């Protein structure tokens, strides 16, 4: 079916990222017709790992994706905090004492994207329309017309902007929202584990913290190949593009981690491709639903990656929004307001908490081994960790009351 033949009763979703695809799958599983308009000419993902915490795992289970996701995951045995300089380690999580099975899914972004694409196409083979760059929309009582960059207009029943941090749907709904550079950049890369020493291949999530940078490393797999993710955040006054596709060099990255423990230096030296991007924040929105148009994921609450919650929040949004369709099938404007009211406080709080993690990760007390130990024991004590993460992980988007 060509894009011009999209049914007028279809729900249009701008963006085939993880949020848009999870939304489409949630709707199709309910028998609600939808079509995804994706600007890219092919569905590709940046080479990086993903951390899906229990709040996101519940959504994937509800979408009946557990089996496919678990086949492509590595279960972490432990999570440790490590000191940047001498590698000293403090335990945060041990799977052997996790009777409830609360470990996160560690997998490649590309895997999750592929699993979601297959799930959507199984239910509606023609649902994803590539080369469909949404530039605006018009809505009235009858429906919505999404305008594409090539001049085509697609009529649908409603429009969901899942078109990421630079959302055009948000621009049409709310106007321009300025982003602000946070004086920090992020590095991402993958290292085939056979290039690493045996002690670096363990199934452990390690968060290395230092005075002006931190690194998270964890194992993921692609078919039979095991990879270690390298995810580094560094204080940096220089402005960079807010893009995920900027390439960086090993030399430049090593410069950002001078004096760090040899395990980190070895990780960087062995990375295949390094991506880097500037970290930006936007003010929280007060509203993101109007009539038959709403937003989800980074389009309405992009956040810093310090809690690993961007994808998890997009999954939660999709789950709650799909349930609101069920709740108010004949009044989508009401369904979208209910969804917004349910999600605004939680996502704003997560956005704020993620930003608040920067001084926790990058702290002057970490400069010296003498002060670092006490600092880590306080900041990463079980009670401090529980207060920081439990309210995020315990949320269940698949059952949270709608009223
Ligand atoms: C390397 C990396 C690692 C991360 N790690 C984690 C993690 O471990 N855990 C976690 O929870 N979060 C993580 N995040 C954050 C997370 O990836 C984002 O929050 C999440 O991808 C947001 O999903 P989304 O679907 O809302 O937007 P996006 O993933 O940005 O997808 C938007 C989609 O819309 C398309 N699009 C954009 N504009 C238009 C348009 N005008 N018309 C049509 N299509 C359009 C884009 O091409 C894209 O396909 C990470 C981010 C990165 C970059």
308 lines ligand 1 (CB under 6 A): yes
Calpha distance 173→159 (Å, rounded): 11
Residue 322: its pLDDT value, please?
98
Beta bridge partners of 189: 230
Determine the distance separating the centroid of ligand 1 and the alpha carbon of 298, expressed in angstroms: 7
Instruction: Note whether residue 10 is domain-resident.
Output: yes
Instruction: Note whether residue 81 is domain-resident.
Output: no
190 lines ligand 1 (CB under 6 A): no
Alpha carbon separation from 369 to 89, 255, 260, 262, 376 (Å, rounded): 12, 22, 13, 16, 11
119 lines ligand 1 (CB under 6 A): no
Determine the distance separating the centroid of ligand 1 and the alpha carbon of 277, expressed in angstroms: 13
305 lines ligand 1 (CB under 6 A): yes
Residue 341: its pLDDT value, please?
96
Mutate to test the pocket of ligand 1, among 14, 15, 128 (most ligand atoms within 8 A of CB): 15
Instruction: Note whether residue 386 is domain-resident.
Output: no
Tens digit of pLDDT per residue, the chain (403 long)?
A: 677 778 888 999 999 999 999 999 999 999 999 999 999 999 987 768 998 999 999 999 999 999 999 999 988 888 999 999 999 999 988 887 776 777 789 999 999 999 999 999 999 999 999 999 999 999 998 899 999 999 999 999 999 999 999 999 999 999 999 999 999 999 999 999 999 999 999 999 999 999 999 999 999 998 888 999 999 999 998 765 555 556 788 999 999 999 999 999 999 999 988 988 889 999 999 999 999 999 999 999 999 999 999 999 999 999 999 999 999 999 999 999 999 999 999 999 999 999 999 999 999 999 999 999 999 999 999 889 889 999 999 999 999 999 9
Pairing label, strands 158-161, 293-295: parallel
Residue 241: its pLDDT value, please?
57
Instruction: Note whether residue 403 is domain-resident.
Output: no
244 lines ligand 1 (CB under 6 A): yes
Residues ≥6 apart with Cβ < 8 Å to 28 = 34, 120, 123, 124, 127
117 lines ligand 1 (CB under 6 A): no
Please say whether the beta carbons of 162 and 15 come within 8 A: yes
Instruction: Note whether residue 325 is domain-resident.
Output: yes
Stated length of the chain: 403
Beta bridge partners of 341: none
Q: How many CA atoms lie within 13 A of 210 on its CB side?
A: 21
**Which residue's alpha carbon is at the smallest distance from atom 37 of ligand 1?**
163
Determine the distance separating the centroid of ligand 1 and the alpha carbon of 330, expressed in angstroms: 30
Q: Specify the CATH number for the domain of residue 23.
A: 3.50.50.60
Residues ≥6 apart with Cβ < 8 Å to 190 = 47, 48, 49, 108, 220, 227, 228, 229, 230, 271, 272, 273
Residue 207: its pLDDT value, please?
96
DSSP string, 266-324: HHHHT-S-EEEEEEEE-PPPS--EETTEEE-THHHH---GGGS-HHHHHHHHHHHHHHH
314 lines ligand 1 (CB under 6 A): yes
Instruction: Note whether residue 174 is domain-resident.
Output: yes
Determine the distance separating the centroid of ligand 1 and the alpha carbon of 91, expressed in angstroms: 31
Mutate to test the pocket of ligand 1, among 12, 50, 132, 288 (most ligand atoms within 8 A of CB): 50
The total domain count for the chain is 1
Instruction: Note whether residue 376 is domain-resident.
Output: no
Determine the distance separating the centroid of ligand 1 and the alpha carbon of 46, expressed in angstroms: 10
Determine the distance separating the centroid of ligand 1 and the alpha carbon of 50, expressed in angstroms: 11
**Which residue's alpha carbon is at the smallest distance from atom 39 of ligand 1?**
163
Token pair for 90? 């403090």
Integer-rounded Cα radius of gyration of the chain: 21
Q: Where are the beta strands (DSSP E) in 109-245?
A: 128-129, 134-139, 144-148, 153-156, 158-161, 180-192, 204-209, 213-217, 219-222, 225-235
Residue 277: its pLDDT value, please?
85
**Which residue's alpha carbon is at the smallest distance from atom 31 of ligand 1?**
17
The atom number, within ligand 1, closest to the CA of 169 reads: 41
Instruction: Note whether residue 83 is domain-resident.
Output: no
Residue 148's domain comprises: 3-46+110-178+283-357
The atom number, within ligand 1, closest to the CA of 134 reads: 42
């Amino acid at each position: 079916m060509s894009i011009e033949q999209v049914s007028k009763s279809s729900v249009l979703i701008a963006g085939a990222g993880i949020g848009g695809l999870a939304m489409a799958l949630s709707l199709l599983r309910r028998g609600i017709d939808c079509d995804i308009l994706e600007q890219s000419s092919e569905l590709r993902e940046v080479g990086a790992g993903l951390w899906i915490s229990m709040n996101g795992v519940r959504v994937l289970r509800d979408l009946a994706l557990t089996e496919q996701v678990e086949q492509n995951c590595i279960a972490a045995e432990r999570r440790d905090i490590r000191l940047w300089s001498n590698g000293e380690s403090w335990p945060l999580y041990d799977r052997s004492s996790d009777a409830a099975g609360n470990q996160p899914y560690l997998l490649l972004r590309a895997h999750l994207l592929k699993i979601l694409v297959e799930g959507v196409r199984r239910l509606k083979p023609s649902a994803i329309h590539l080369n469909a760059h949404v530039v605006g929309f018009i809505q009235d009582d009858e429906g919505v017309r999404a305008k594409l960059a090539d001049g085509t207009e697609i009529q649908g029943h409603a429009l969901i902007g899942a078109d990421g941090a630079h959302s055009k749907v948000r621009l049409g709904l709310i106007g321009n929202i300025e982003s602000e550079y946070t004086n920090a950049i992020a590095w991402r890369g993958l290292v085939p584990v056979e290039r690493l020493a045996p002690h670096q291949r363990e199934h452990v999530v390690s968060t290395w913290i230092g005075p002006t940078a931190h690194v998270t490393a964890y194992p993921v797999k692609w078919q039979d190949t095991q990879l270690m993710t390298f995810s580094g955040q560094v204080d940096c006054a220089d402005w960079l593009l807010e893009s995920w596709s900027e390439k960086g060099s090993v030399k430049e990255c090593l410069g950002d981690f001078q004096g760090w423990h040899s395990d980190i230096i070895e990780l960087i030296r062995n990375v295949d491709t390094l991506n880097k991007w500037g970290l930006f924040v936007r003010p929280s929105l007060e509203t993101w639903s109007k009539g038959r148009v709403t937003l989800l994921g980074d389009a309405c609450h992009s956040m810093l990656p310090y809690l690993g919650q961007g994808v998890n929040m997009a999954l939660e949004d999709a789950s709650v929004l799909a349930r609101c369709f069920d709740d108010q099938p004949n009044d989508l404007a009401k369904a979208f307001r209910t969804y917004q009211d349910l999600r605004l406080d939680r996502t704003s709080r997560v956005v704020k908490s993620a930003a608040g993690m920067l001084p926790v990760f990058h702290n002057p007390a970490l400069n010296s081994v003498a002060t670092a130990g006490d600092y880590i024991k306080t900041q990463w004590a079980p009670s401090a960790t529980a207060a920081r993460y439990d309210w995020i992980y315990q949320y269940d988007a698949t059952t949270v009351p709608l009223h």
